[in-house]
């Protein structure tokens, strides 16, 4: 991979270590906690923010608890036309001087990979969880094939871990589109501190691990 051409001082990358979205941990308590953190942290962000989830199901579950959010919330829909996406960009452009919006989207979806958020349109990006492919016969066949070809560990990385981490990189890169842009990236998944996953993050996205009020303080200091 190539180093980022953008100034490192323009991006603050944090890891919110109090969040774990492994399937067995999912439930109303976890969804409520993620929503509370999004509401609290986004209140320290000038302009627009975006939160990208591993699935529509989790996005919608967390969205039910976004009470008292200081920003108006925009939620991605499963099927969006170019006109729909252009309308969202228009809202973000006109709204950022009036407190901004919080955009909820899905990694690998229309708003995390198919939209150019130019001119510092996003001041903050939250990346929630790790978007592993959901279980299916096709996914299992692919994992079995790569394990047989490269061995269990490398096969698992190539077929399962790398595609998910690549989607994280795509989402995290939405906010820095030029050398003038400044943004905070917040990774909300404690598993990303594990070297098994951390090694897939380029140097400019290696996070500082914080939790609770320390995250809000770091965001406020950056802006």
Neighbouring C-beta atoms of residue 4, cutoff 10 Å: 16
- What was the pLDDT predicted at 114? 73
pLDDT at 4: 59
Low-confidence ranges of the chain (pLDDT < 50): none
Handedness of CA 58, 64, 67, 73 (dihedral sign): positive
Check residue 118 and give its pLDDT: 87
Q: Per residue in 119-145, pLDDT tens?
A: 899 999 999 999 999 989 999 999 999
Sheet holding 124-128, edge to edge: 72-75, 101-106, 49-53, 124-128, 183-188, 11-16, 208-210
Q: Evaluate whether the domain defined by 8-222 bears CATH number 3.40.1160.10.
A: no
Q: Residue with structure tokens 């320290």?
A: 44
Indicate the domain borders of the chain: 8-222
101-123 confidence digits (pLDDT tens)? 999 999 999 898 878 898 899 99
> What backbone phi and psi angles, to 5 degrees, belong to 51?
-120, 120
115's CB contacts (< 8 A; 6+ apart) are: 85, 88, 89, 174
- Of the CA atoms within 13 Å of residue 111, those in its CB half-sphere come to 31
What integer pLDDT is reported at residue 25 of this predicted model? 74
pLDDT in the model for residue 3: 56
């Amino acid at each position: 991979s190539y180093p980022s051409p953008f100034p490192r001082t323009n991006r603050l990358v944090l890891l919110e270590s109090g969040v774990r979205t492994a399937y067995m941990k999912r439930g109303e308590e976890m969804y409520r906690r993620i929503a509370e953190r999004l509401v609290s942290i986004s209140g320290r962000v000038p302009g627009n923010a975006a939160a990208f989830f591993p699935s529509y199901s989790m996005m919608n579950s967390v969205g039910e608890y976004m009470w008292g959010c200081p920003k108006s919330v925009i939620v991605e829909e499963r099927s969006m036309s170019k006109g729909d996406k252009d309308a969202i960009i228009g809202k973000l452009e006109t709204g950022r001087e009036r407190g901004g919006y919080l955009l909820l989207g899905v990694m690998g979806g229309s708003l995390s990979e198919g939209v150019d958020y130019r001119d510092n349109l996003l001041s903050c990006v939250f990346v929630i969880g790790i978007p592993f492919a959901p279980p299916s016969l096709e996914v299992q066949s692919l994992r079995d094939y790569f394990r047989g070809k490269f061995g269990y560990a490398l096969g698992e990385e190539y077929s399962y871990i790398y595609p998910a981490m690549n989607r994280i990189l795509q989402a995290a890169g939405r906010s820095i589109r030029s050398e003038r842009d400044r943004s905070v990236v917040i990774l909300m998944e404690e598993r990303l501190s594990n070297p098994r996953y951390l090694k897939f993050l380029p140097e400019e996205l290696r996070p500082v691990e914080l939790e609770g009020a320390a995250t809000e303080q770091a965001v406020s200091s950056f802006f």
